[in-house]
Structure 1
Amino acid sequence: MKSVYIRAFSYIFGLMIVSFGVTLTILAGLGAGAWDALNVGLSHMTPFSVGNWVIFVGIILIIINSLLTKSKPVFVSLITILILGYFIDFWLLIVFPDTLVNGFFYQMATLLVGVVVLACGASMYMQAKFALIPIDGLMFALRDVLGVKIMVAKTISEVTALAAAFFVGGPIGIGTLIVTFAIGPLIQWFYPRFEKRLNWKAV
């Protein structure tokens, strides 16, 4: 029973940390990750918030993943995107409304902290092994359908999101490159450390 609580904590708290990391990369103003840039761009074009678009895009990806894999939609992933979307809006609209980081040094510092926090949260939420973010689901779906390595599938996914973000005027810049290339190695570093500390199978 104790393991269930640890998994739930890892899942919810991890997603909260992910949302905070995403928020910092957006507030830095140097360019967000490809999918986040897409959501920000869409929010500027519509009356919907960034968090709303996290949910909308997530639903679309759940459907696309289902079509690609010819399987039933993973509706449990709705829980993940709902939590993530609402947390992102909490940080952006309530905690940091109209916040703008000025000065390249502070912008870069905010961005780098955001990337580390994002990777930390992702490593934690994945420990629960509950419901993946649909973006990660797309990566695995592309891997299986195209028969390519996971990094190739991830690259295809990111490039697609980047093209869409560019089309809708999302924030693309040096920060986008940093997020894209740093997030994987950071998760790889954090994951085994959280796995050891949150060893819910052993409790």
Structure 2
Amino acid sequence: MGDYLRNINWKHVLIMCIGNILAGMGIAIFKLAGLGTDPFSGMNMAVAAKLGMAYGNFQLLVNVVLLVVQVAFGRKFLGIGTVVNAVFLAYICTFFYYIFTGVMGLELVAMPVRLVALCVGVAIICLGLSMYQMPDEGVAPYDSLSLIMTDKWPKIPYFWHRMSNDVVCALICYFAGGVIGIGTLVTAFGLGPVIHFFNRHFTGKLLARVDGE
């Protein structure tokens, strides 16, 4: 444990933490738009309802299974970022959602405004996920799945792996009787490519500058 702490790149940790804050803010804006859930959450909600299980219990079960996969095939993706994302992301999202609705009193009614909020939310989520994943300080079990696949099949770009996982989750959600909203489709097909864009054109360059490369 002591060796692990001594080897931590705290500049990378700072970028990872900022990424989680941005992701939480983006999720709050996405939620404010009210146009559907992300594929992973939607899948868990739909299957939990189908099985008569509590959503939280089923999602915990899925995360445990994915954590086993992460430990077996992607142990290098475990780290402080895994804990930060698992423990704090939901609270960050709740905080920003309270600011937007409780403090600022925002209520989006007009569809064009909701669509703009959806796009802004997705863009911020993607920037946040890029900044939280690329520093290599650990990621959550579901996010690690795409990275493990990219390591296994490096000739296939990351965004195809991410998109395939999100689309599979959306399909399971649909066939389990869940609701597929515009936001679900946008995130299923859009997260991977936009995260890949930020990886190449922003976060990668930021990390290179921080590392003095």
TM-score in terms of structure 1 length: 0.72
Q: How does 1:11-26 map to 2 (within 5 A)?
A: 11-26=16-31
Aligned to 2:140: 133
**Alignment pair present for 1:28 and 2:37:** no
2:205 partner letter: K
**Alignment pair present for 1:195 and 2:207:** no
Counterpart CA distance in 2 for 1:33 and 1:155 is 12
Aligned to 1:157: 165
Q: How does 1:100-111 map to 2 (within 5 A)?
A: 101-111=108-118
Instruction: Return the offset for 1:111.
Output: 0.2
Instruction: Return the offset for 1:92.
Output: 4.0
Counterpart CA distance in 1 for 2:91 and 2:59 is 9
Q: 1:86 aligns with which of 79, 86, 91?
A: 91
Cα pair distance change 1:151/1:128, threshold 3 Å: closer
Instruction: Return the offset for 1:17.
Output: 0.5
Counterpart CA distance in 1 for 2:96 and 2:146 is 27
For the Cα contact (< 8 Å) 2:20–2:128, is it kept in 1?
yes
5+ long unaligned stretches in structure 2: 1-5
Cα pair distance change 1:162/1:72, threshold 3 Å: same
Q: How does 1:37-116 map to 2 (within 5 A)?
A: 37-38=42-43, 46=54, 48=56, 57-66=62-71, 69=73, 74=78, 77-92=82-97, 96=101, 101-116=108-123
- Deviations, residues 166-202 of structure 1 (Å, cap 9, x unaligned): 4666552222222222223322332232333342211
Q: Give runs of ≥4 in structure 1 deviating > 6 Å.
A: 42-45, 52-56, 70-73, 144-148
TM-score in terms of structure 2 length: 0.69
Higher Cα Rg: structure 1 or 2? 2
Cα pair distance change 1:193/1:156, threshold 3 Å: closer
Instruction: Return the offset for 1:117.
Output: 0.7
Provide the aligned C-alpha RMSD in A.
4.0
More displaced stretch, 11-20 vs 132-141:
132-141
- Deviations, residues 81-140 of structure 1 (Å, cap 9, x unaligned): 222233223334675469753121111011011011111112222342210232222224
Counterpart CA distance in 1 for 2:202 and 2:76 is 34
Percent identical among aligned pairs is 23
